A and B are shown apart, each in its own frame.
Chain A
Amino acid sequence: MKRATLTIASLIASAGLAVGAEVAPLDVTFEDGAVAQSLSGAAGDAANGRKVVSTKGLGNCVSCHAISEMADDVPFHGEVGPILDGVADRWSEAELRGIVANAKMTYDGTIMPAFYKTTGYIRPGDAYTGKAAKSDPLPPLLSAQQVEDVVAYLMTLKEE
């Protein structure tokens, strides 16, 4: 995870792009649940976000949320969370970023896991091994750029 982050950071640096630095999970600022600035400092890639949303080993958002747009190529959408069709009509980019990063800042007590959070857990484990976590803080469930990619994808889900 770290190496990937560094690589991205150095790529950005060497490209000389005028983008901000990555915001570490512990440094994210929420305002009424929303996060105004890009966590990675770069724009999101909606195509990659679609992959993160639909892939079991990544975000696996479809585990709980149905999305009509991907009904044909991604099987078994869940029904634990709200359907995401038109989600960009209902939320701003900053609000969606905040919900993906830590939905509990928007909905107190929600079942939705926080995808960009690394501490404050009860009996944190080492991924899905059932064994104790090897580090504190933990690696976040999604990287800063993956969160941005998911947000970029969600922003394409418009109905109006």
Chain B
Amino acid sequence: MERNPLKPLTATALGLVMAAGMAAADENAELVINGDIEIVTRTAAPEHMEYIDEIRSGWTFRSDDTQAFQMDDFDNPGMIFVDAAQEVWDTADGAAGKSCADCHGAPEEGMAGVRAVYPKWNEAAGEVRTLEMQVNDCRENRMEAEPWKWDSGDMVNMTALISVQSRGLPVSVAIDGPAAETWAKGKEIYYTRYGQLELSCANCHEDNYDNLIRADHLSQGQINGFPTYRLKNAKLNSTHARFKGCIRDTRAETFSPGSPEFVALELYVASRGNGLSVEGPSVRN
């Protein structure tokens, strides 16, 4: 398959998936990307999790066809956006006339291992920061460029480029020390039943993962694969955009991407995936 962002490819991909219908997921399939990068999609849950013994990547819940998209970068539509971000990485922007590359070198060097440990406490700023916050810090203070919006194409593409440099490494976010307070706040949000449907993250993704809710096969809601290329909207989706969609679907007033609540929730949910491999950009339905 050609690496090509044009719509016909997307339509074809969608058609394939729809034709496959409810093809059952092969839950024991193993994910090796490009025949080279071994991805841990199932492993023992981190100690802090009380109700789940084994954590599973969302990849294990998807159909064979959807799973296949992620096995080779030439089939992974998310990689198109990684290529786009590579160009941006190398291009100067802002009053300081700098590009990402000017300080960080090639992404494979400067960004190796970064995705795996974010969100992360930033001592100088005195806060837990996501990749998006760190990217904008660079843009504003080092490049003297305009910050990107959280859900802009430039931002989500850049987080995909950064994520690729950690693929196969275990997610390993710190939850103790100065990050503990933010983590606890995220945990509280995870277990809060929002909206008129009174649903918490846990109701679906802890109590009912592996069950069908109408035609959807509920996953554990892991975020090790973000940003995620979704076949349903044919673009990369940020973690916070997904959070927003989930909370909206509880008939609640949602939080905004980039809000302190979602930063805290991201840290907590990321920590539930400690031990799974970084997969981004993953492919999901």
Contacts and interface: CB of A to CB of B under 8 A. Distances in A.
Given A64-B213, A79-B212, A111-B208, A128 B249 contact: yes
Interface in B232-261: 244, 247-254
B250 to A, nearest CB: 8
A14 to B, nearest CB: 33
Given A124-B253, A131-B253, A78 B211 contact: yes
B211 A125 contact: no
Interface in B165-220: 192-199, 203-204, 207-208, 211-215, 218
A114 interface: yes
Interface residues of A, number: 29
The main secondary structure of chain A at its interface with chain B is: loop
B151 to A, nearest CB: 13
B254 A111 contact: no
A130 B214 contact: no
A41 B87 CA distance: 67
A152 B251 CA distance: 27
Nearest to B215: A76
Contacts of B251: 124-125, 127-128
A113 interface: yes
A133 B275 CA distance: 39
Contacts of A124: 195-196, 251-253
A8 B199 CA distance: 32
A36 to B, nearest CB: 25
A141 B195 CA distance: 12
Contacts of A63: 213-214
Interface string A127-160: 1111111000010010000000000000000000
Contacts of B196: 113, 121, 124-125, 133, 138, 141
B127 to A, nearest CB: 23
Given A130-B248, A132-B253, A121 B195 contact: yes
A99 to B, nearest CB: 15
B208 A129 contact: no
Contacts of B203: 111
Contacts of A126: 253
A131 to B, nearest CB: 6
Interface in A89-127: 111, 113-114, 121-127
Interface string A45-62: 000000000001000101
B194 A111 contact: no
Nearest to B245: A130
Contact of A111 (B207, B212, B248, B252): B207
Contact of A125 (B207, B212, B215, B254): B254
Interface of B: 22, 192-199, 203-204, 207-208, 211-215, 218, 244, 247-254
Interface of A: 56, 60, 62-64, 75-80, 111, 113-114, 121-133, 138, 141
Closest 6 pairs (CB-CB, A-B): A130-B248, A76-B215, A132-B253, A130-B254, A63-B214, A113-B197
7 contacts: A76-B214, A78-B213, A114-B198, A121-B194, A121-B196, A125-B248, A133-B196
